[in-house]
A and B are shown apart, each in its own frame.
With several copies, the nearest count.
Chain A
Protein backbone atom coordinates (compact mmCIF):
# COMPACT_ATOMS: atom_id res chain seq x y z
CA UNK A 1 0.00 0.00 0.00
CA UNK A 2 1.28 3.41 -0.97
CA UNK A 3 -0.16 6.95 -0.70
CA UNK A 4 -0.19 8.78 -4.01
CA UNK A 5 -0.77 12.54 -3.98
CA UNK A 6 -1.35 14.95 -6.84
CA UNK A 7 -0.97 18.70 -7.11
CA UNK A 8 -1.94 21.53 -9.45
CA UNK A 9 -3.13 20.42 -12.91
CA UNK A 10 -2.19 16.79 -12.21
CA UNK A 11 -4.69 16.85 -9.34
CA UNK A 12 -7.29 18.55 -11.53
CA UNK A 13 -6.91 16.09 -14.43
CA UNK A 14 -7.07 13.04 -12.21
CA UNK A 15 -9.89 14.58 -10.20
CA UNK A 16 -8.66 13.84 -6.70
CA UNK A 17 -5.87 15.06 -4.43
CA UNK A 18 -4.80 11.79 -2.84
CA UNK A 19 -5.45 8.07 -2.97
CA UNK A 20 -4.16 4.88 -1.42
CA UNK A 21 -2.98 2.34 -3.96
CA UNK A 22 -2.28 -1.37 -3.73
CA UNK A 23 0.69 -1.87 -6.06
CA UNK A 24 3.59 -4.15 -6.82
CA UNK A 25 5.42 -1.45 -8.84
CA UNK A 26 9.17 -1.54 -8.21
CA UNK A 27 9.96 1.95 -9.51
CA UNK A 28 8.19 5.27 -10.02
CA UNK A 29 8.13 4.56 -13.77
CA UNK A 30 6.40 1.19 -13.13
CA UNK A 31 3.80 2.96 -10.97
CA UNK A 32 3.20 5.57 -13.69
CA UNK A 33 2.71 2.77 -16.24
CA UNK A 34 0.20 1.08 -13.96
CA UNK A 35 -1.73 4.32 -13.37
CA UNK A 36 -1.78 5.15 -17.09
CA UNK A 37 -3.49 1.82 -17.75
CA UNK A 38 -6.29 2.52 -15.28
CA UNK A 39 -8.45 5.17 -16.89
CA UNK A 40 -8.34 7.89 -19.51
CA UNK A 41 -7.91 10.68 -16.93
CA UNK A 42 -4.73 9.01 -15.62
CA UNK A 43 -3.45 8.48 -19.16
CA UNK A 44 -4.05 12.20 -19.80
CA UNK A 45 -2.31 13.29 -16.60
CA UNK A 46 0.73 11.08 -17.21
CA UNK A 47 0.90 11.50 -21.00
CA UNK A 48 4.23 13.33 -20.84
CA UNK A 49 6.30 12.65 -17.73
CA UNK A 50 8.97 15.12 -18.86
CA UNK A 51 6.39 17.77 -17.85
CA UNK A 52 6.10 16.23 -14.39
CA UNK A 53 8.12 16.07 -11.19
CA UNK A 54 7.99 13.36 -8.55
CA UNK A 55 8.69 13.41 -4.81
CA UNK A 56 9.19 10.33 -2.65
CA UNK A 57 8.33 10.82 1.02
CA UNK A 58 8.47 14.57 0.41
CA UNK A 59 11.91 14.65 -1.22
CA UNK A 60 12.32 15.45 -4.92
CA UNK A 61 13.30 12.29 -6.80
CA UNK A 62 13.49 10.75 -10.28
CA UNK A 63 11.19 8.53 -12.33
CA UNK A 64 13.66 5.64 -12.27
CA UNK A 65 13.85 5.69 -8.47
CA UNK A 66 13.05 2.58 -6.43
CA UNK A 67 9.78 2.49 -4.47
CA UNK A 68 10.97 0.03 -1.81
CA UNK A 69 10.08 1.39 1.63
CA UNK A 70 8.42 4.51 0.22
CA UNK A 71 5.14 5.51 1.90
CA UNK A 72 4.15 8.58 -0.12
CA UNK A 73 4.62 9.35 -3.81
CA UNK A 74 3.70 12.83 -5.11
CA UNK A 75 3.23 13.87 -8.74
CA UNK A 76 3.10 17.51 -9.81
CA UNK A 77 4.19 19.96 -12.52
CA UNK A 78 7.42 22.01 -12.14
CA UNK A 79 7.10 24.36 -9.19
CA UNK A 80 6.20 28.01 -9.64
CA UNK A 81 6.62 29.54 -6.19
CA UNK A 82 8.33 32.77 -5.21
Chain B
Protein backbone atom coordinates (compact mmCIF):
# COMPACT_ATOMS: atom_id res chain seq x y z
CA UNK B 1 0.00 0.00 0.00
CA UNK B 2 1.53 3.27 -1.13
CA UNK B 3 0.27 6.59 0.21
CA UNK B 4 2.06 9.77 -0.77
CA UNK B 5 1.23 13.41 -0.03
CA UNK B 6 3.73 15.41 -2.03
CA UNK B 7 4.46 18.77 -3.57
CA UNK B 8 6.33 17.44 -6.61
CA UNK B 9 4.79 15.99 -9.77
CA UNK B 10 4.29 12.28 -10.39
CA UNK B 11 4.06 10.15 -13.53
CA UNK B 12 0.68 8.37 -13.52
CA UNK B 13 1.80 5.83 -16.15
CA UNK B 14 4.95 4.88 -14.28
CA UNK B 15 2.93 4.61 -11.05
CA UNK B 16 0.36 2.37 -12.74
CA UNK B 17 3.09 0.12 -14.15
CA UNK B 18 4.85 -0.15 -10.79
CA UNK B 19 1.51 -0.86 -9.08
CA UNK B 20 0.55 -3.56 -11.62
CA UNK B 21 3.92 -5.24 -11.96
CA UNK B 22 4.14 -8.93 -11.18
CA UNK B 23 0.57 -9.35 -9.97
CA UNK B 24 -0.60 -12.93 -10.40
CA UNK B 25 -3.33 -12.87 -7.80
CA UNK B 26 -5.50 -10.06 -9.15
CA UNK B 27 -7.59 -9.84 -12.28
CA UNK B 28 -8.56 -6.18 -12.11
CA UNK B 29 -6.70 -2.92 -11.69
CA UNK B 30 -8.51 0.42 -11.73
CA UNK B 31 -6.83 3.81 -11.68
CA UNK B 32 -8.17 7.33 -11.37
CA UNK B 33 -6.18 10.44 -12.22
CA UNK B 34 -7.46 13.90 -11.34
CA UNK B 35 -6.19 16.70 -13.58
CA UNK B 36 -6.18 20.50 -13.17
CA UNK B 37 -9.01 21.62 -15.39
CA UNK B 38 -10.04 25.09 -16.55
CA UNK B 39 -13.60 25.08 -15.24
CA UNK B 40 -14.55 28.71 -15.68
CA UNK B 41 -12.03 29.84 -18.29
CA UNK B 42 -8.88 31.86 -17.68
CA UNK B 43 -7.34 29.53 -15.09
CA UNK B 44 -3.68 30.29 -14.47
CA UNK B 45 -3.01 27.72 -11.78
CA UNK B 46 -4.55 25.72 -8.96
CA UNK B 47 -3.21 26.07 -5.41
CA UNK B 48 -3.77 23.22 -3.02
CA UNK B 49 -3.44 23.73 0.71
CA UNK B 50 -3.48 20.84 3.17
CA UNK B 51 -3.14 20.06 6.87
CA UNK B 52 0.21 18.28 7.30
CA UNK B 53 -0.11 15.44 9.77
CA UNK B 54 -3.89 15.17 9.61
CA UNK B 55 -3.80 14.62 5.84
CA UNK B 56 -1.69 11.49 6.08
CA UNK B 57 -3.77 10.11 8.95
CA UNK B 58 -7.08 10.79 7.20
CA UNK B 59 -5.92 9.15 3.95
CA UNK B 60 -4.52 6.12 5.79
CA UNK B 61 -7.86 5.64 7.55
CA UNK B 62 -9.88 5.91 4.31
CA UNK B 63 -7.43 3.53 2.59
CA UNK B 64 -7.66 0.92 5.36
CA UNK B 65 -11.44 0.99 5.18
CA UNK B 66 -11.46 0.50 1.41
CA UNK B 67 -8.88 -2.29 1.62
CA UNK B 68 -10.88 -4.24 4.21
CA UNK B 69 -14.31 -3.68 2.68
CA UNK B 70 -13.38 -4.83 -0.85
CA UNK B 71 -10.59 -7.21 0.13
CA UNK B 72 -8.17 -5.37 -2.07
CA UNK B 73 -4.84 -6.98 -2.87
CA UNK B 74 -3.33 -3.49 -2.89
CA UNK B 75 -4.08 0.19 -3.29
CA UNK B 76 -2.30 3.43 -4.07
CA UNK B 77 -3.06 7.06 -3.19
CA UNK B 78 -0.97 10.02 -4.35
CA UNK B 79 -2.15 13.59 -3.66
CA UNK B 80 -0.22 16.73 -4.47
CA UNK B 81 -0.29 20.12 -2.75
CA UNK B 82 1.15 23.51 -3.66
CA UNK B 83 0.82 25.33 -6.99
CA UNK B 84 -0.25 23.22 -9.99
CA UNK B 85 -0.46 24.43 -13.59
CA UNK B 86 -3.34 23.62 -15.95
CA UNK B 87 -3.33 20.06 -17.28
CA UNK B 88 -1.14 18.67 -14.48
CA UNK B 89 -2.19 15.60 -12.49
CA UNK B 90 -3.41 16.60 -9.00
CA UNK B 91 -3.87 13.15 -7.58
CA UNK B 92 -4.21 9.48 -8.36
CA UNK B 93 -5.70 6.38 -6.80
CA UNK B 94 -5.31 2.78 -7.92
CA UNK B 95 -6.92 -0.42 -6.67
CA UNK B 96 -6.11 -4.09 -7.30
CA UNK B 97 -8.73 -6.80 -6.72
CA UNK B 98 -9.72 -10.24 -7.94
CA UNK B 99 -12.80 -8.88 -9.73
CA UNK B 100 -13.53 -5.70 -11.64
CA UNK B 101 -16.56 -4.63 -9.62
CA UNK B 102 -14.59 -4.55 -6.37
CA UNK B 103 -11.73 -2.63 -8.00
CA UNK B 104 -14.14 -0.04 -9.48
CA UNK B 105 -16.22 0.37 -6.31
CA UNK B 106 -13.16 0.71 -4.08
CA UNK B 107 -11.63 3.36 -6.38
CA UNK B 108 -14.88 5.36 -6.36
CA UNK B 109 -15.12 5.04 -2.58
CA UNK B 110 -11.54 6.31 -2.20
CA UNK B 111 -12.30 9.28 -4.45
CA UNK B 112 -15.56 10.17 -2.70
CA UNK B 113 -13.93 10.09 0.74
CA UNK B 114 -10.70 11.81 -0.30
CA UNK B 115 -12.80 14.62 -1.75
CA UNK B 116 -14.80 15.32 1.40
CA UNK B 117 -12.83 13.86 4.31
CA UNK B 118 -9.16 14.46 3.60
CA UNK B 119 -8.04 17.99 4.59
CA UNK B 120 -7.24 19.56 1.22
CA UNK B 121 -8.51 22.90 -0.06
CA UNK B 122 -8.29 24.09 -3.64
CA UNK B 123 -7.91 27.68 -4.74
CA UNK B 124 -8.33 28.62 -8.39
CA UNK B 125 -6.14 31.46 -9.58
CA UNK B 126 -7.51 32.96 -12.81
CA UNK B 127 -6.44 35.91 -14.93
CA UNK B 128 -9.04 38.06 -13.16
CA UNK B 129 -8.63 36.98 -9.54
CA UNK B 130 -8.62 34.03 -7.21
CA UNK B 131 -11.18 32.12 -5.20
CA UNK B 132 -11.51 29.02 -3.03
CA UNK B 133 -13.32 26.13 -4.67
CA UNK B 134 -16.51 25.45 -2.72
CA UNK B 135 -17.62 21.99 -1.66
CA UNK B 136 -20.92 21.04 -3.30
CA UNK B 137 -23.89 19.20 -1.78
CA UNK B 138 -23.15 16.44 -4.35
CA UNK B 139 -19.75 15.87 -2.74
CA UNK B 140 -21.41 15.13 0.58
CA UNK B 141 -24.26 13.18 -1.02
CA UNK B 142 -21.73 10.92 -2.76
CA UNK B 143 -20.79 9.49 0.65
CA UNK B 144 -24.30 8.25 1.30
CA UNK B 145 -23.82 5.62 -1.43
CA UNK B 146 -21.41 3.74 0.83
Contacts and interface: CB of A to CB of B under 8 A. Distances in A.
A contacts B directly in the complex (CB < 8 Å)? yes
Interface of A: 5, 7-9, 11, 55, 58-60, 74, 76-82
Contacts of A58: 51, 53-54, 57
Contact of A9 (B53, B115, B117, B132): B132
B100 interface: yes
B119 A79 contact: yes
Nearest to B111: A82
B86 interface: no
B115 A81 contact: yes
B37 interface: no
Nearest to B123: A8
A77 B121 CA distance: 8
Contacts of B70: none
Contact of B120 (A5, A11, A60, A80): A80
Contacts of B123: 8
Given A8-B121, A58-B57, A81 B132 contact: no
B34 A82 contact: yes
Contacts, number: 75
Contact of A81 (B57, B114, B134): B114
B100 A80 contact: no
Q: Main secondary structure on chain B at its contact with chain A? A: mixed
Interface in B77-131: 79, 90-91, 100, 111, 114-123
B11 to A, nearest CB: 19
Nearest 7 CB-CB pairs, A to B? A81-B120, A82-B115, A78-B135, A58-B54, A8-B121, A80-B133, A82-B114
B40 to A, nearest CB: 15
Interface centre among B34, B51, B53, B121 (most CB of A within 10 A): B121
Nearest to A5: B51
Interface centre among A9, A76, A77, A80 (most CB of B within 10 A): A80
B118 A81 contact: yes
A79 B115 contact: yes
B122 A7 contact: no
Given A74-B119, A78-B134, 11 more contacts: A8-B121, A8-B132, A58-B53, A58-B54, A77-B132, A78-B139, A79-B117, A79-B119, A80-B133, A81-B115, A82-B120
